[in-house]
Amino acid sequence: MEALKRADDFRGPKGPVVLVIMDGVGIGKYVEGDMVLAANTPNLNWLKEHAVAGQLKAHGKAVGMPSDEDMGNSEIGHNAIGCGRVFDQGASLVSKAIESRSLFEGETWKMLVKNCLEHQSALHFLGLFSDGNVHSHIDHLEAMLKEAKAAGVKKARVHLLLDGRDVPPTSALEYVDRFEAFLKDLNADGTVDFVVASGGGRMKITMDRYEADWSMVKLGWEIHVKGEGRLFASARAAIEAHRAENPGVLDQDLPPFVIARDGKPVGAMADNDSVIFYNFRGDRAIEISRAFEEDAFDKFDRGARPNVLFAGMMQYDGDLKIPKNFLVPPPGIDRTMGEYLAMSGVRQLAVSETQKFGHVTYFFNGNRSGKFNEKLEDYIEVPSDRIAFEFRPWMKAGEVTDKVLQGIERKRNKYGFIRVNFANGDMVGHTGVCPAVRIAVESVDLCLGRIMKAVKAAEGILVVSADHGNADDMYEHNKKTGEVSLDSVTGEPKTKTSHSLNPVPVCVYDPSGKANLRLTAKTDLGISSLAATCIKLLGFEPPADYDPSVVDVG
């Protein structure tokens, strides 16, 4: 790998190139429920009219998902933005590994099954329970359970993390009923005992990320591993009880539960059990993996840790080797923009609040922990508030902007490239609270205006885009007619909390005009083109195999 070559037609701006990623801010298909359109966004509107502007794909095959029916997400979106090309992502890799049987023929699967057969122990499956295909897919879980039975495993326990975030917000029972019927068929011949053992909402237990709230992981450990919690006869009974006690609660926020027989938990983990965390996406899988694997663990008191054989669906952190055992190799992302810029002597700054800090660092760098060059890179994390996002939809956007402005105005050892993520459109969008989502989008736009002024003063260039849509599609719509779907009880529009399949905006603003920018004639581009765009604006020639730049210069 060599340093980037300087371009002949444009040598870069006097100030920095600033990449603003408005997380979850797409271009809506429908007026109804489009909180980006409903929001007051004078700065984004100005850029769309006066800067070089267009749109980019941010879902499906354009970001490495199996089909164009699959939504994009922040992890794969930042992968694509940072590496400038499209790699098959977790959903595709796992599906192909199951279809080809390479997953079941691999050493890790064989080791997990052998452990159960030798000790007559249980095989546990823990993960996000839906077909959202963002962190996991129920089809993968069912395929592994079928194979486990065929391999001779007699006892399997499934620990459900209820979604309502990448799928409709109160759809849990649809998945539970389907799955219970599936388990009934597996158990019908009396040779196996495969049952649901525990569960809870994904934003309540287990799936914390970036060490924002280890208490979630602690609660998950108590529920899944120790079998300590409120007991129910079935997952359906637990969900119905929690909904009755807290009307309007979304699946992602449902309290945890433990399934019991004769007053005893059916799925507390024991020595010599095997455990698979079947999420393929890494950010919300790392902490629970650490709890299972680390000997010197100090994040919470695990109590007596059972001696289990643990594996992840994928390796969630290749540098830190988390987890040690995994079923499917992760995408081999290399030669990212950040590495090229470091090799080329460009000083870089990455800024976000906690909720998306790993995205502008780890995922942007191709699932790589740490920096490429300690002297040339600075990463700033603004701690997120521990409060429901709908209650503070502005989140830490102002503080994040303060850090970006300091980076733009820096005189000594000034930055050549600055990247920033504003988490609001995504994190507040997932709540389904539309007034809060509108405020979230307006907060980002307010910060965008501050950055625009700073970039102009520094004679830099601003690139504004997103990793996927969300706030632009807050209502469920009939796929055939486009009409808003109404709640049968309230008559109000059904809110949507998942990502959209919509394109995202891209605006390139050169206030000095020296770059002589124009939109490329190439069409059908995805967000992976942002890497070549930024490299070109910095005055370099993008790597030949990078997806083409959104703009031409010179």
Q: How many residues would you count in the chain?
A: 554
Q: CB within 8 A of 484, min separation 6: which ones?
A: 30, 32, 33, 475, 476, 477, 478, 493, 494
Query: Which of 506, 518, 470, 442 has the alpha carbon at shortest distance from 19?
Result: 506
- Supply the pLDDT for residue 369: 86
How confident is the chain (554 residues) per 10-residue block, as mean pLDDT? 92 96 97 97 98 96 87 91 93 94 98 98 98 95 98 98 94 98 98 98 94 95 98 98 96 98 97 98 92 96 97 85 93 94 98 96 92 98 94 98 97 95 96 96 98 98 97 92 89 90 97 95 96 98 97 93
Residue with tokens 């643990």: 310
DSSP letters for 395-424:
TTHHHHHHHHHHHHH--TT--SEEEEEE-H
> What is the distance of C-alpha 439 from the center of its chain?
22
- Supply the pLDDT for residue 227: 98
HEC string for 498-511? CCECCCEEEEEECC
In the chain, domain spans: 17-88+333-552, 91-328
HEC string for 418-441? EEEEECHHHHCHHHCCHHHHHHHH
Strand ranges inside 28-174, DSSP E: 52-56, 123-129, 155-162
- The class (CATH top level) of 17-88+333-552 is alpha beta
- Supply the pLDDT for residue 489: 84
Query: Which of 363, 359, 343 has the alpha carbon at shortest distance from 351?
Result: 359
Other Cβ atoms closer than 10 A to 49: 9
Say how far apart CA 231 and CA 332 lie, in whole Å.
43
Query: For residue 90, what are its two tokens?
Result: 């977790």
Say how far apart CA 313 and CA 93 lie, in whole Å.
10
Say how far apart CA 455 and CA 418 lie, in whole Å.
11
Say how far apart CA 294 and CA 544 lie, in whole Å.
42
Query: Which of 295, 292, 288 has the alpha carbon at shortest distance from 215?
Result: 288
- In the chain, % helix, strand, coil (3-state, to 5) comes to 35, 20, 45
Other Cβ atoms closer than 10 A to 154: 16
- Supply the pLDDT for residue 117: 98
- Supply the pLDDT for residue 89: 84
Strand ranges inside 282-402, DSSP E: 309-314, 326-328, 348-353, 377-382
Supply the pTM of this predicted model: 0.78
Torsion of CA 315, 90, 313, 428, to 10 degrees: 90
Query: Which of 500, 481, 482, 440 has the alpha carbon at shortest distance from 35?
Result: 440
The catalytic residue among 67, 74, 95, 234 is 74
CA 210, 362, 77, 66 torsion: positive or negative? Answer: negative
Say how far apart CA 291 and CA 312 lie, in whole Å.
13
Say how far apart CA 117 and CA 238 lie, in whole Å.
32
Are the CB atoms for 263 and 231 separated by under 8 Å? yes
Architecture of 91-328 per CATH?
3-Layer(aba) Sandwich (3.40)
Looking at this protein, which amino acid is placed at residue 544?
Answer: A
Torsion of CA 273, 274, 279, 280, to 10 degrees: 160
DSSP 547: P
Say how far apart CA 499 and CA 468 lie, in whole Å.
7
CA atoms within 13 A on the CB side of 501: 13
Query: Which of 477, 469, 468 has the alpha carbon at shortest distance from 495?
Result: 477
- Supply the pLDDT for residue 319: 62
Concerning whether 74 is annotated as a catalytic residue, the answer is: yes
